Structure 1
Amino acid sequence: MLNKLKSYLSHSKVSQKLLLMLLTTAIVTAAIVLFSTFSILRFAIHTQVEPDYVSNLKLFIEQQSSFEQIKTRLPLLSRISAQSIKLHQLTFFDDQGELILHHGNAPKSKHLHQLYAHFLNDTGHTPKIFEVSLKDGSHFTALAAYNYRIEQLLNSKFLLMSVALLFTAILLIRVIQMQSKRWLIEPILHLKAVTHQVSSHQNYSVRANKVYFDEIGNLVDAFNTMLSQIQARDHLLTDARDKANRAQQRAETSSMETARTNLRLEEEARVRSAMERKLLEFQDFLNGIINSMPSMLIALTPRYRITLWNKRAEQLSSIPAGQAINHRIDDVFPNMLFYLDLVHQASSTGTTQNVSQAEFKIAGETRYFSIMIYPLNESGLEDVVIKLDDITDEKHLQELVVQSEKMMSLGGLAAGMAHEINNPLGGILQNVQNLTRRLSPGLPKNQQVAEDLGLSMQDIGLYLKSREVPELIDNITRAGHRAVDIVTNMLQFSRNADPTLELCNIIELTKQALEIARTETTFNELQQHHSLTIREHYTDGIPAVPCIQSEIEQVIINLLKNAAQVLSEHGSPSGTPEILLTVKQQDNYAVIQVQDNGIGMDDKTRRKVFDPFFTTKDIGKGTGLGLSVSYFIISSHHHGLLDVTSEPNKGACFTIKLPFRSLRVQSS
């Protein structure tokens, strides 16, 4: 092994040897001094000072009975100190990570993760996060940032160890210097002595000794070759007159060879210039491919520094490439902060990491991405490439496909239920009709039967009226007709035949539906007791839309009633309930939006909101069929789209999209 090392050093270049010596010197010095010193300091701090300080700080906070008492006793934190620690800042955050209280220097950010990332990049302060539980049962998250007074830790023992380590480093550097003298200076001095001997005594027979096979060794070979050539030419000069003709011929041959060499050099220069142009064109071609890709491409160094930021990344993040290159990925694109462990795993293991679905907040909008992280192993680099594909539209489309399949399966169930309900319902209505006829005083048969029994129809009528029997019969009749309408809708719901569409003014249709919805009891109560605000926004010039007016009115009224019921039962996080009704044109669709500022819904509820029989209302207040039937009307009868976007405490927005063209339009 030692012989191989000596052989390698003998054949190495001088620049490589210099670089090796410099690197060795720097590594030895830095490794011994910095590593040992900081290891001692780090050990002393973390084993003796920091745990006690953080524990005492947490104990002091948890001894307070309430958050208000913490505010009043924050100045007493100066008593909880260590000789080697100085508190820079103490901040408190709620469950959402928002700042609610701070002590010390003003924080750079009001969000827990951003402030923690700031202190991680700031090497002058150490951040620590710990959970705090007060006596009153409340919970908070605290972030303490502090630094160390290093001079208190540098006692005589540490100084003695540092001096010993420094002496060892100096000794190693001296050894390296002696070795460098052996490698570089001695061969140069030897070559200088030989040169002086040649120039002073005109002795061309001496030769320099070659020790190493580096640039100095090559210089020795060239010098010896030059001496041999000079010695040979010295002999040739004596024969110059005899060889003049041959020398002239050699000169002419050399001139011709030089001319040919110049021509070859010119040709090589032209070829090289053409190759450079091709390389530049190929580079532009590659950049065009990268920037034209619909995916977001980011290349990172092992230290998470950005080296590639394509056009799609600029569009999604609104950050130009010039402001992103050479910056950390978590500073430029904070959404990737929670996936840096996958970046490290891909870099360290050389394997591709995948995330099928990641939820990001971009410009206040929730979008979904698939992430692929792969290393550049084959190119010999340690960089990592992150490829992000926006799958928001695909995710929504998948949800719509699943919803359509559910609605198709509901058709058979609706038909069976309608037929089963229709038979007893017909008997109920027929018997109610017969009951009404037999209680009517105008029929002769009723008068005759009453007289045979010794009764009068007037007395019977007064009895029935005093017992509110006619009102009960009317209620039965109205309930029966309502059941008939429900059965009719269910039968229509189950049919596959397309109804006939007519061109309608979508704005007038929406206004009419709103007027009908205003008569509902829920709307009246909200407007009287909670100051409900209904804002309307209509875009002029929208073409006529092919639709079934009664069905679209039914869908809009259903959405308005649902919004009013949510605001009536749960109120609005903003205080004042509000419904925004919007009609606009988007591409080839007329768009109707019903948006409220209620409590909203989580992602799990949002995916089930169009399922048959799914409802969030109390038992007896809803069947769970309103939105599913509305979805069927829009998707099946009108070939449109019905979708919802919502987040907790941010309201909900239902969007209806109706196409302007349909093959089933009947022009009037």
Structure 2
Amino acid sequence: MSNRLKSYFSHRTISQKLLFMLIVTGIVTATLCTLIAASIWRFVIHSQIEPDYTHNLKVISELSQNIDELNKQLPTLLAVDSHAIDTKLIATFDEQGNLLDQLSLNNLPLPAKQLHELYAYYLKQGRFSPEVVSLKLKNGTPYTLLVLYKYKTEVLFNSKFLLMLISLFLAAILLIRIIQMQSRRWLIDPVLHLKAVTHQVSSYQNYNVRANKVFFDEIGNLVDAFNTMLSQIQARDHLLTDARDKANRSQKKAEVSTNEIKKTNIRLEEEARVRSAMERKLLEFQDFLNGIINSMPSIMIALTPKYRITLWNQQAEKLTSISAGQAINHRIDDAFPFMLFYLDLVHQASKTGQVQTVSQAEIKISGITRFYSIMIYPLKGRGQQDVVIKLDDITDQKHLQELVVQSEKMMSLGGLAAGMAHEINNPLGGILQNVQNLTRRLSAGLPKNQQIADDLGLSMTTIEEYLKAREIPSLIENITHAGHRAVDIVTNMLQFSRNAAPELEQCDLNELTRQALQIARTETTFHELQAESGLIISELYDPELPTIPCIPSEIEQVIINLLKNAAQALSEYGCPSGTPEIKLNVQQQETYAVIEVIDNGIGMDDDTRRRVFEPFFTTKDVGKGTGLGLSVSYFIISSHHHGILDVQSEPGKGAHFSIRLPIRPLRLQLD
């Protein structure tokens, strides 16, 4: 039976064993508490109710016929309550206080005097309780009883109860001791044993010891794991010992090859320094090339055969407002949609290896039109079919070419105009002189005319009436007006073709411009614009502008001409904004003094802008313009002052004329 219990508990878990011990301890404790509670309850039950002895006496006396019958009943009363009280004495007195009978424990009669003394003694002290009871028999006779008694009470801790209690305590202590010993055997001893083995391992590095497994519980599993760990550590220790031996042998070999490694390291360090220097040089050279590419005024873009961007310089960033980081590895038609029209040339350059060019391409970005020359050439030396696109801004060159063509055209037309002016001037003078003579000879105020009319029998008054009826004077006036207009044209043509050396003088361009504006304000068109549309003229002058060498009358003539043209354009064609405005600005730009006349009229298309300085070209109605005003102004600025007269205009955005005069000493100009 014992072996079975040992086997049973050896295979239980620690929690099950603790539960068993707690159950046994609980049962013992409950049993002991139950026994103690039962003993106390028994004492309380027997002692909590005192029998009402005097009440019993009164009841028996009321049932008795006479005193003799009462005296006979007293022993019976004592027998009934003997389990609860201990009666010392009962004495019966009549109504006069005479002692009739007495009943005592020792049956010894006491005199009445001693009864009173005994009553007084027990009243003050003593173990018996004295009490005087007034009785009335059944027949109504009154009597008095003197009773000396005490109640019987149970003894709580009597000898049997104490013996039983001591036995229970001893049994509980023994059981607790047994449980403690069993707990030590089940829990503490295996742990202490495992601790001792652990101390052997940790203190003495003894991996040969093993812990004994007694029970198959958690501690038993821990013992198995600990023994397994010791086995693995022991095996690892053997491996480490073998590895240490191998390491010692390898160390010897390593010591042999250390010198060779040091030498190799020295060579590697030297090679690393050389390579680092080469990489630094390559990076510097790469930065240098990038600096060259980014510093070029041209737009440089490199593409793969799939039209992916591999190079995007700063000029490309400025033109497209797209950074290199955003453009690299993207298609060219996504980053620069303009090149979509030239992808066939990119493909052709990649396939054939031939350079493809576009002499003039128009690009419009942010509302500004610029002209570029495009060169697409294959990238050689990489074993790939990459191409490079180079775009150069030729807007200024194109504009200069237009100016050169314009200048050459004007020079050729100048020679033609000079010849025509001389050929026309002579017959024109004869026409005007003959018209003047015709007017004089038809006038009635000359005596010679009156004399010849009288000789012929004619009346000058009749002749005048005839001429007026036939509107001959108005025809003569038209001939005269046309002649003078032809004279003006010839004069402008002669001035247009003049190549004489000008006489320059230092001039305040701000003051000269103010005077020209005052003169232009007197023109009828200015008055009409200010009265009808509220013409706004804004002026901006540069007080720091130095004096420049020029011919004041000619510069004044050019400014007035530009102001009149602007006012006439605003008057005839109106302005998109509704309120006409002319801006007159004088400022310095680098080495030039610049006069700008800007209006907000309807502007000009490209064809009109290119021909605006040609002689005899005009957009005005027939008879309202000669077409020589701007051409003469152009030659005044370019030939006489070595400056530039330029115009910028687009349809609906007004016209911007600028006069650029070089700022330099007078002696250089005269040279």
Q: Give your verdict on TM over 0.5.
A: yes
- In 2, distance between residues paired with 1:606 and 1:279? 52
Aligned to 2:379: 376
Distance in 2 of aligned mates of 1:665 and 1:573: 45
- Are 2:652 and 1:649 equivalent residues in the alignment? yes
Cα distance in structure 2, aligned partners of 1:628 and 1:639 = 15
Establish whether residue 572 from structure 1 lines up as the match of residue 580 from structure 2: no
Paired with 1:255 and 1:509, the residues of 2 have a C-alpha distance of 93
1:359 aligned onto 2:362: yes
Q: 2:413: which partner in 1?
A: 410
The 10-residue stretch of structure 1 (256-265 or 587-596) with the greater mean CA deviation from structure 2: 256-265
Deviations 1:416-465 (A, max 9, x none): 11111111222233234434554566655445445545677788778878
Rate the CA distance shift 1:535–1:328 in 2: closer, same or farther, 3 A.
Answer: farther
| 1:219-272 per-position Cα deviation (integer Å, ceiling 9, x unaligned) | xxxxxxxxxxxxxxxxxxxxxxxxxxxxxxx99996665554343333322222
How has the CA–CA distance of structure 1 residues 453 and 665 changed in structure 2, closer, same or farther, with 3 Å as cutoff? farther
Of 653, 664, 670, the match for 1:661: 664
**Matched letter for residue 398 of structure 2:** K
Contact 2:374 2:392 in 1 (8 A): yes
CA distance in 2, matches of 1:419, 1:295: 51
Report deviation, 1:379: 0.7
- Tell me by how many angstroms 1:581 deviates: 2.5
CA distance in 1, matches of 2:299, 2:443: 79
In 2: Cα distance, 1:363 partner to 1:312 partner? 16
Aligned to 1:535: 538
SS of structure 2 residue aligned to 1:614:
coil
Q: Does 1:291 align with 2:304?
A: no
Offset at residue 640 of structure 1 (A): 0.9
Partner of 1:313 in structure 2?
316
Q: Map of 1:219-230 to 2, 5 A cutoff?
A: none
In 2 relative to 1, CA 443–666 (structure 1 residues): closer, same or farther, beyond 3 Å? farther
Alignment pair present for 1:553 and 2:556: yes
What is the Cα deviation at residue 334 of structure 1?
Answer: 3.8
Q: 1:266 aligns with which of 251, 265, 269?
A: 269
Q: Which runs of 5+ in 2 are unaligned?
A: 1-252
Alpha-carbon distance between aligned partners in 2 of 1:429 and 1:537, rounded to the nearest angstrom: 46
Counting only pairs closer than 5 Å after superposition, residues 186-205 of structure 1 correspond to structure 2 as: none
1:503 lines up with 2:509 in the alignment: no
Contact 1:546 1:665 in 2 (8 A): no
Does structure 1 retain, via aligned residues, the 8 Å contact 2:349–2:377? yes
Judged with a 3 Å threshold, the aligned counterparts in structure 2 of structure 1 residues 251 and 452 are, in CA distance, closer, same or farther, namely closer
Report the AA paired with residue 312 of structure 1. Answer: Q
Is the 1:500–1:666 contact (alpha carbons within 8 Å) kept by the matching residues of 2? no
Which of 396, 407, 428 is the equivalent residue of 2:399? 396
The AA in structure 2 aligned to 1:585 is Q
8 Å contact from structure 1 (residues 309, 325) kept in 2: yes
Does the CA-based 8 Å contact 2:505-2:666 persist in structure 1?
no
CA contact (8 A) 1:641 1:656 kept: yes
Structure 1 residues 621 and 489, CA gap change in structure 2 (3 angstroms): closer
Task: Compute the displacement of 1:639 (Å).
Answer: 0.9
Is the partner of 2:374 in helix, strand or coil?
strand
Please give the alpha-carbon distance, in whole angstroms, between the structure 2 residues aligned to 1:344 and 1:588: 46
Q: How much has 1:619 moved relative to structure 2?
A: 4.3
Amino acid aligned to 2:602: I
Contact 2:592 2:660 in 1 (8 A): yes
Equivalent residue of 1:308, what SS?
Answer: strand
Letter aligned with residue 654 of structure 1:
F
Structure 1 distance, partners of 2:657, 2:303, is 41
Please say if 1:630 is aligned against 2:636. Answer: no
How do residues 469-484 of structure 1 correspond to structure 2 at under 5 angstroms?
A: 476-477=479-480, 479-484=482-487
CA distance in 2, matches of 1:635, 1:340: 43
Q: Which residue of 2 aligns with 1:491?
A: 494
Please point out which of 281, 284, 289 is paired with 1:281.
284
1:487 CA drift (Å): 2.1
One-letter code aligned to 1:635: S
Q: Give the CA deviation at 1:497.
A: 1.7
- Determine the structure 1 residue equivalent to 2:433: 430
Match of 1:65 in 2: none
> Any idea what SS the aligned residue of 2:567 has?
helix
Q: Offset at 1:628? A: 2.1
* 3-state SS of 2:319 partner: helix
AA of the residue aligned to 1:581: L
For residues 168-187 of structure 1, what are the structure 2 equivalents within 5 Å?
none
The CA deviation string for residues 581-622 of structure 1, in whole angstroms up to 9 with x for no partner, is: 322221121212222333323323322222233334444444
Q: 1:274 to 1:640 in 2, by over 3 A?
A: same
* CA 1:310–1:482: 2 relative to 1, 3 Å: same
Contact 1:422 1:484 survives alignment (8 Å): yes
Distance 1:642 1:305, change over 3 A: same
- Rounded to whole Å, the distance in 1 between the matches of 2:338 and 2:578 is 32
Partners of 2:285 and 2:668 in 1: CA distance: 54
Tell me if structure 1 keeps the 8 A contact 2:645–2:659.
yes
Shift of 1:285: 1.7
- Partner amino acid, structure 2, of 1:486: I
RMSD across aligned positions (CA): 3.6
Distance in structure 2 (CA, Å) of the matches to 1:596 and 1:465: 47
- Inter-partner Cα distance in structure 1 for 2:439 and 2:623: 30
* Structure 1 position 396, deviation (Å): 0.9
Distance 2:559 2:666 in 1: 24
Distance 1:665 1:404, change over 3 A: same
Conserved? CA contact 2:492–2:628, under 8 Å: no
Could you tell me the percent identity over the aligned residues? 78
Cα distance in structure 1, aligned partners of 2:617 and 2:488: 21
Structure 1 unaligned regions, length at least 5: 1-249
Contact 2:641-2:661 at 8 Å conserved across structures: yes
**Could you say what secondary structure the match of 1:574 adopts?**
coil
Count of residues paired in the alignment? 419
Tell me if structure 1 keeps the 8 A contact 2:541–2:587: yes
